Amino acid sequence: MEQLSYHVHAHLALFVEGQPAEVPGGIGIRADCFSWLHTHAADGIVHVEAPAPHTYTLGEFFRVWGRPLDAKHLLDKTADAQHQILAYVNGQPYAGAPEANPLDDHAAIVVEYGPPFVAPPPYTFGS
């Protein structure tokens, strides 16, 4: 079940050709098990709840979700000569592979497939 020794939250926003794509609630949650990386609601909040501090990545979350993410793939889209995948953290371009993006506490992560691209929207965490 849920581990509360290490508990952080990151926000994930996805855009496909300029349109928001949902990060569903219930990722990583089964009746008999909570993954250390999961969502409760379709609000983009990724919960990292583990027995000890550890740097988890966006790629690990996507593996729990069962969806592809790397420099060439986002969900069901594949980058080609006309399309690319861009990632941002806290409004700044992320230079590494999108799947390597760490799920740090209060990181606002945006991953986009396009064009078109939208400006990374800001996100403010509640208390």
**Domain boundaries, given as residue ranges, for the chain:** 6-114
Say if residue 1's pLDDT is above 80: no
Share of the chain above pLDDT 90, in %: 90
* Spatial CA neighbour of 64 closest among 36, 85, 101: 36
Bridge partner list, 42: none
Confidence (pTM): 0.94
Task: Supply φ then ψ for residue 78, to 5 degrees.
Answer: -125, 130
Distance of CA 95 to the CA centre of its chain: 16
Confirm if 11 and 125 have CB atoms less than 8 A apart. Answer: yes
Share of the chain above pLDDT 70, in %: 96
Q: Please state which architecture CATH assigns to domain 6-114.
A: Beta Complex (2.170)
DSSP 51: S
pLDDT digits (tens, 9 = 90+) for 21-52: 999 999 999 999 889 999 999 999 999 999 89
Sign for the pseudo-dihedral over CA of 54, 76, 2, 4? positive
